[in-house]
Amino acid sequence: MTGMKFSQTCDRDRRVGGYGLHVAAAIVALAAASGAAQAQECQVKLGAMGPMSGGAAAWGLALRQGVEFVAAQANADGGVQVGDRKCRVSVMSYDSKYSAEGAASAANSMASDNIKLIIGPVGSPEATGAKPVAQRNGQITFNSSYAKDAIGPETPLAFHQLAGPAQWAPKIVAAAKQKFGIKSVVVVAPNDQGGTDVASVNAKAYEADGIRTKQEYYQRGTTNFAPLVTRIMNENPDAVDTASSPPADGATMVKQLLEAGYGGVFGRLGGPGTLEIIKAAGGVKELKNFYWLELVPTEDEKIVALQKDFKTVMKADAPNNTLLYTAAAAARMVLKAVTAAGTADDAPAVAKALHNLEPVDPYLGKGTWKGKAAFGIQQELVFPVGLGLIVDGKSLGVTAVDLADSK
């Protein structure tokens, strides 16, 4: 060991001149390279934050793919205009684990990577954790939480990626009441914030329409819903709304309700996974009567076009989760705002540019800024949503519901 060290030292002594030359050359080369990089390439960094492991992973992964899709499209067009330069868009993603501290920690990690523009987080606990930290760090976030305080005047850098239940619940409920003549409903959701945020707003919308409403909350992690189904059967409601319960839970509930002989209408205002529910029921015919919310009008030709473009650009099928579309729209708005503000590092300037931008998206169409009434700050990015209907065992497809005139 010692011998080796000795010989190395000798070696170095002899070559010291050569060393110096090498180092000098390397420094020159590095400087030249970085200089060139600065001239040709600059970078706009977007963050994608959401749950990418655990029970809500489908959401976070879809959100990430939405942001990556927009970045890939922008780069294929030569980058995003920032001042007088064209910049490449890069995406960094972080798993915020559907928890407050996961999201707070993700926001800090992104801050140290100098990411000021974040699409996400997804869930309510995450939004609760990320908002104050991102505000402190000077980062824009675009969360998709359904919490009553998803955004607010005290965090002016926090934006809302999509319309909340306060926007769509009254419209969908009215349509469902008219279609199926519902007089009573049970709204079911998990007992944590992801459930109560949506179910309570849905319940209010049903009650406002004169529908007798009962709320049922089950413990998150329940796998067998037979007891809950018996409880619902005792109520004998006209409709059961599975609200924001996770796809697996909603599917099991519908399957077990049908087995118990439930003959009423099914509703799903808040959660994705209608495909799983139809499959679990054994098909459209068995499900019979079903109304549900889609975050976007999924059968619109422009949405179908996005799926095609996604496949071309990303070389993979678009994920089923509709958060893909709203995340992509938010990312696109942010990039436009970067161009308008002439900077990607100054979050308040980008936020200001966002306020002045008319929400238009090549796939989602014309939107509006909302949120003043529900949150006290006009930072909710609202595009038309979709209302899906199955009536008497026949699928009527998904129709667009414009929310421009809602509160």
Partner 1 sequence: MDGLVTTAIIGLSLGVEYALLSLGFTLIFGILGVINFAHGGFYMIGGYAAYAAVHFAGMPFPAAVATAMLVTALLGYVCELLLIDRYVSDHLTPMMITLGLYLIISTALIVVFGPEPADFSFPIRGSLRSGGIYITYANLIVLLVCATVIAAVYLLMYRTDFGLALRAMADNREVATALGMRPAQYFPLAFGLATGLAGLTGALVTPTLTLSPFLGDSILGMSFLIVILGGLGSLGGAVIASFIVGIVEAYSRVYLGGSKGALALFVVVLIILVVRPNGLMGRIGRPA
Partner 2 sequence: MRNMLRTIAFTDWLSIAILLAFAIVPFLTGDFFTLSLTNQILIAVTAALSVHIMLRMDLLSFAVPAFMAIGGYAAAMTAQAGATNLVVLLAVSFASAAIVALPLGALVLRLRGVYFVLVTFIFTEILQLLIFETPGLTGGSNGIPRIPAPTLGPLVLNTNHLIVLVSICVAVIATVVTMGLTRRYGQEFASIEENETLAQSLGLVAWHYRTIGFVVAGGIAGMAGFALVNLLLTAHPTSFTSMSSVFYIAYVLIGGRRTILGAVVGSCLLVWATKVFSSHGEYSAGFFGLLLIIVVTAAPNGLVGLAQHLLGRVKPRSASPRPEVADAHV
Binding interface with partner 1 (CB under 8 A): 53-55, 57-58, 61, 191, 216-219, 221-228, 230-231, 234, 246-249, 251-252, 255-256, 259-261, 273, 276, 279-280, 282, 320-321
Tell me if 111 contacts partner 2 by CB under 8 A: yes
Q: Which is nearer to partner 2, 217 or 299 (CB)?
A: 217
Collapse the DSSP code of 158 into the 3-class scheme (helix H, G, I; strand E, B; otherwise coil) and give the result. Answer: strand
Tell me if 219 contacts partner 2 by CB under 8 A: yes
Tell me if 154 contacts partner 2 by CB under 8 A: yes
Query: Contact, 65 vs 122, CB < 8 A?
Result: no
Amino acid letter at 278?
I
Tell me if 347 contacts partner 2 by CB under 8 A: no
Query: Contact, 220 vs 191, CB < 8 A?
Result: yes
Collapse the DSSP code of 286 into the 3-class scheme (helix H, G, I; strand E, B; otherwise coil) and give the result. Answer: helix
Nearest residue to 152 (alpha-carbon basis) of 398, 360, 379: 379
Tell me if 129 contacts partner 2 by CB under 8 A: yes
Binding mask 61-90 for partner 2 (x = CB under 8 A): x--x--------------------------
CA distance 148 to 119: 19
Query: Contact, 188 vs 241, CB < 8 A?
Result: yes
Min dist. Cβ of residue 233 to partner 1 (A): 8
Which of partner 1, partner 2, none is residue 17 near (CB under 5 to 8 Å by kind)? Answer: none
In this chain, which stretch among 28-36, 124-132, 179-187, 381-389 interacts with partner 2, using CB under 8 A? 124-132
Tell me if 100 contacts partner 2 by CB under 8 A: yes
Give DSSP secondary structure letters for 71-95. HHHHHHTT-EEETTEEEEEEEEEEE
**Residue ranges in 177-196 that form contacts with partner 2 under rule CB under 8 A:** 191-193, 195-196
Query: Contact, 319 vs 58, CB < 8 A?
Result: yes
Q: Which is nearer to partner 2, 97 or 177 (CB)?
A: 97
Tell me if 112 contacts partner 2 by CB under 8 A: yes
- For residue 378, the Cα-to-chain-centroid distance in whole angstroms is 19
